[in-house]
Amino acid sequence: MLLMSLTNGYPLPPVPPPVMAPAMAPVAVPVPSPTIPKLPIRKPVAVQGVVFCKSCKYIKEDTLQDAKPLVGAVVKMVCYNTNRPKFPIVMTATTDKNGYFFIPPTKKVTTYGAQTRCRVFLAAAPKGSKCKLPTNLHGGIRGAYLKPTKPATPVDFALYTVGPFAFNPIPSSCKY
Is the confidence at residue 127, as pLDDT, over 50?
yes
Report the distance separating Cα 2 and Cα 55, nearest Å: 120
Residue 21: phi and psi, rounded to 5, are -70, 145
Report the distance separating Cα 153 and Cα 118, nearest Å: 24
Is the confidence at residue 1, as pLDDT, over 50?
no
Q: What is the pTM of this model?
A: 0.74
Question: Which pLDDT band, with edges at 50, 70 and 90, does 4 fall under?
Answer: low
Is the confidence at residue 134, as pLDDT, over 90?
yes
Report the distance separating Cα 136 and Cα 126, nearest Å: 17
Report the distance separating Cα 52 and Cα 168, nearest Å: 9
| Domain ranges for the chain | 52-173
Residue 169 exposed, middle or buried by CB count within 10 Å (0-12, 13-18, 19+): middle
Find out whether 96 and 132 touch, Cβ atoms under 8 Å.
Answer: no
Collapsing DSSP to helix, strand or coil, 110 comes out as strand
Find out whether 124 and 74 touch, Cβ atoms under 8 Å.
Answer: yes
Residue 157 exposed, middle or buried by CB count within 10 Å (0-12, 13-18, 19+): middle
pLDDT tens figures, 142-163: 999 999 999 889 999 999 999 8
Question: Which pLDDT band, with edges at 50, 70 and 90, does 6 fall under?
Answer: low
pLDDT tens figures, 48-98: 999 999 999 988 888 999 999 999 999 999 998 766 667 899 999 999 999
